[in-house]
Amino acid sequence: MRRLILIFLMFNAISSIAGIVVHNPEELRKTVLKAKPGDTIVLKNGAWKDAALILNGKGTAKNPIVIRPETPGEVVLTGNSYLQLAGEYLQVMNLHFKDGFTPNRAVISFKTDHKNLANHCRVTGLVIENYSQPQRLKGDTWVILYGKHNRIDHATFVDKLNSGPVIIVELDDERSQANYHRIDSNYFKGRKRFGSNGAETIRVGVSRYSLTPSRTSINHNYFERCNGEVEIISIKSGENKVSYNTFYESEGGLVLRHGSNNLVEGNFFNGNNKLFTGGVRIINPGHKVLNNVFYQLKGTQFRAPLSIMNGVPNSLINRYYQVKDVIVEKNTFIDCTNLLFGAGKDAERTLSPQNVVFKNNLFFSKDSTIYENLNDDNGLKFVDNALSAENIGDLPAGFKKTKVKHLRLKGFELPYDSGYGADLKQISFIEAKNTGASWFHPVVKTAARKGRSFKVSAAQSENFKSYIQQALSGDTIILTDTGYYKMKESIQINKTLMIMAAKNLTKRPILLNATFSSMPAFFIVENGGRLSVENIAFKGTFESFSGVDAGIKSTELPMNRPYYLNVNGCEFYDFNESTQSGIAGSKGTLADSLLVSNSIFHHLSGTGINLASEKDDKGIYNAEIVSITNCVFTNLLGSAINIYRGGNDESTLGPFVTINYCSFNEVENREQGAAIKLIGVQQAKVTNSGFSKCGQGGRSIQFQEYRTDNILVDYCNFYKSGKIESFYNKVAGQHVYTEEPESLKLTTASNSQQPLGASVPLLQSYSY
């Protein structure tokens, strides 16, 4: 009998180690519910589609309940799968979410419902990739932490594309406050510029609960090119610790947005000389920023290597509390742009930082200035800081010159002084290879295939769409005739394609609608599509057939990947309705780059280039980079260019707009009109361009800018044209004229002798 009992116990022990195999979500749910401390539950390898993994169990600290796949990464959760866990001491390992999106608020939630939260639970070895909502502005979160003492670690998160943070720590009731969560050893592998607020990588709390301590630890993570918005990590609670992380080429910063008494220690901010890379931004009282390295950061304003903001008197909880009693000590700044004290100072944010001690920091820089202070008071105390002897600028108060040594660590030659700056030997310099899921090996991109060419004659117009569908990414469609290409339907572009006129043609091939039904556009660029068009004419109306709303536009279907459009040597004309455009961006879509060169827009009743569909005034816009070069806009009833970014959101960089060597003639002369509308554009240059009889009922160019926007109009001539209108009246450079074009001889902004305005090498003057 005794022997039978021993055999039984041994069998149970072996069974517990080997695990209880489950085959579907319902079987998993029931097994976890009945599991005992120390049990291991094994998910059968394979694709689990639309799997709702709802786990509620109770392990112990010494004997957690472990849920894992047979083989790490070989349970692939697709479609509308998600994971919810509650109870105590559950450990979920090595799952792979891929090729889908969550139907809920979160892919992984540390609660199953309002009553059942997780405590002392862990999710480790996780990978989430290609798991974004199809609609970019529809929000969700990949991981939401509730309860207390939970951990997410050694996970890999690949390029979230839609709205919402990658990870949120919620503090929405007492059971989730003072939580002591750990977010560690994770690899945040990229996040593209989102063109809107709401693209943080990690957010801890919200303004409503920001006076509450969270006590979350964020450490030993690797953040690679996390460029979604200005806040990579957004701390909106108190008493958190962000330590020993690496931020690599990330356009933004670690932002102490709300809450107090947070600690930032031992982090490595590596900008690698990339524009817009930032460090730490401080708001609210009681923080400490200690022993960090800021390396080759090139951000300014809110993306400065270190920025300390002004506060708002009697601030609402969701605005800006005054910075007080902050310590910035023993940090090293290497080849960075200037630090900014008093960031955001304006008519509302008037309270300067007070009792900020800046002590024992080391600067290695050749710039003549190392910081800018926008407040003229004694709120900042500079004590015993050091500036490398190589610096030739004036020595600020509270600084000494020092001759630094150099240490080689992790491939970096870093300046070091035992009395000043960070203790480099205490900083982990976390590398990507030491974070994330150890089993995950991303597919290495192969070299792009050599594209093929397809020739399409005008007689083959009706088969135009089939050629596009047959083409593979990287192929070229060549239009061989100068005649009409009579199209019966719009063509969707969802790959990388070039569509161009044959090189030997003397006139442009002309696309037109040959049906009695209105067509939304000749070409519609879909999710992630990349279209280049060269030397083609787009005719909006033809004889008695119906019109076309746009020559080229982005899709109105859901989009979460930015598209790319390059238009060269093209012609857009005879779009005869005020709602029609040569080129248009649809609501909910974002162009990574929209490049238009050597093209002509004429005889349009609507807009030449219309990127103004986001009218919700939430800081959202239709294109990140817009470059319009050497183009002609003539005889337009509406605006030549209309780009809109409404609202006062400060989280994004764009749009970036460059208009250079363009000519505008008889454009938008209606009452209160504007030939060019750049409303809310944050980065804009209009240079080397000529305006003749434009905006006579109002404005040639209309801006609605904020004081920190970088906009300029220079080397431009406005002959019998409307004014340049801006809020601060500071956009016009020193070379703005109102002369008759023939009498104007100028050196351009590029110091060449090219005349102002476009000189388009047209294949034909006009097509009509």
Residues 6+ apart with CB under 8 A from 484: 458, 461, 510, 512, 514, 542
What DSSP string runs through 649-678? --S----EEEEES-EEEEE--STT-EEEEE
Name the average pLDDT for the chain. Answer: 93
Among left, alpha and beta (phi > 0; psi -120 to 50; other), residue 752 is beta
Q: Is 461 helix (H, G, I), strand (E, B) or coil?
A: helix
Identity of residue 421: G
Q: What is the pLDDT of residues 264-311, one digit of tens each?
A: 999 999 999 999 999 999 999 999 999 999 999 999 999 999 999 999
pLDDT tier, 768 (very low <50, low <70, confident <90, very high otherwise) = very low
**Which structural domain, as residue segments, surrounds residue 258?**
16-434
User: Does residue 439 sit within a domain?
Assistant: no
Tell me the pTM: 0.93
- Flag whether 338 is in a domain: yes
Q: Say how many domains are in the chain.
A: 3
Residue 379 shares a structural domain with residue 402: yes
pLDDT digits (tens, 9 = 90+) for 491-531: 999 999 999 999 999 999 999 999 999 999 999 999 999 99
Residues 396 and 485 in one domain: no
Instruction: Band the pLDDT of 446: cuts 50, 70, 90.
Output: confident
The C-alpha atoms of residue 73 and residue 45 are separated, in whole angstroms, by 9
Alpha carbon of 627 to those of 72, 224, 241, 657, 761: distances in Å?
Answer: 46, 27, 42, 6, 18
Domain-located, residue 441: no
Q: Torsions phi, psi of 26, nearest 5?
A: -70, -40
My answer on whether 604 and 700 are in the same domain is: no
Residue 318, domain member (yes or no): yes
Of 587-591, 601-605, 748-752, the range with the lowest mean pLDDT is 748-752
Contacts of 554 (CB under 8 A, 6+ apart): 524, 525, 526, 563, 584, 585, 586, 589, 591, 622
Lowest mean pLDDT among 48-52, 138-142, 393-397: 393-397
Tell me the pLDDT band of 17, cut-offs 50, 70 and 90: low
pLDDT confidence of 7, banded at 50, 70, 90?
very low
Domain check: are 270 and 398 in the same one? yes
For residues 460 and 429, what is the distance between their CA atoms, to the nearest angstrom? 60
* 646 & 689 share domain: yes
Burial of residue 419 (CB within 10 Å: 0-12, 13-18, 19+) is exposed
Does 533 share its domain with 643?
no
Same domain? For 425 and 469 the reply is no
pLDDT of residue 764: 45
Same domain for 147 and 225, yes or no, is yes
Average pLDDT over residues 673-683: 97
With respect to residue 768, please indicate whether it lies within any of the assigned structural domains: no
Largest Cα–Cα distance in the chain? 114
Tell me the two tokens of residue 19.
């695990």
pLDDT band of residue 393 (cuts 50, 70, 90) is confident
pLDDT for the residue 541:
92
Q: Give the pLDDT score at 760.
A: 59
Q: Which CATH number goes with the domain that contains 221?
A: 2.160.20.10
Q: 1 falls in which pLDDT band (50, 70, 90)? A: very low
Confidence of residue 748 (pLDDT cuts 50, 70, 90): low
263 & 316 share domain: yes
Answer whether residue 673 is part of any domain. yes
Say if CB 395 and CB 401 are below 8 A apart: yes
* HEC-encoded secondary structure of 411-440: CEEEEEECCECCCHHHCCCCCHHHCCCCCC
- How would residue 5 be classed by pLDDT, with cut points 50, 70 and 90? very low
Residue 765's pLDDT band (cuts 50, 70, 90): very low
Domain identity same for 90 and 195: yes
Q: Which pLDDT value is given to residue 336?
A: 96
Pair (232, 372) in one structural domain? yes
DSSP string of 256-293, one letter each residue: EEE-S--EEES-EEE-TT-BT---EEE-SSS-EEES-E
Share of the chain above pLDDT 90, in %: 84
In the chain, the amino acid numbered 597 is S
Give me the pLDDT at residue 745, please: 58
- Give the rounded distance of the alpha carbon of 578 from its chain centre: 33
Is the model's pLDDT at 448 over the cut of 80? no
Q: What is the pLDDT of residues 126-145, one digit of tens each?
A: 999 999 999 999 999 999 99
171 with 208, same domain?
A: yes
Peptide bond connecting 213 to the previous residue in cis, omega within 30 degrees of 0 = no
Please indicate, yes or no, if residue 61 is contained in any of the structural domains: yes
Is the pLDDT assigned to residue 752 strictly greater than 60?
Answer: no
In a domain, 3, yes or no: no
Q: How confident is the model at residue 444 (pLDDT cuts 50, 70, 90)?
A: confident
Residues of the chain with pLDDT > 70, as a percent, come to 94
Cβ pair 549, 580 in contact under 8 A: yes
Q: How confident is the model at residue 449 (pLDDT cuts 50, 70, 90)?
A: confident
Q: List pLDDT tens digits, range 327-358.
A: 999 999 999 999 999 999 999 999 999 999 99
Low-confidence winner among 184-188, 192-196, 460-464 (lowest mean pLDDT): 460-464
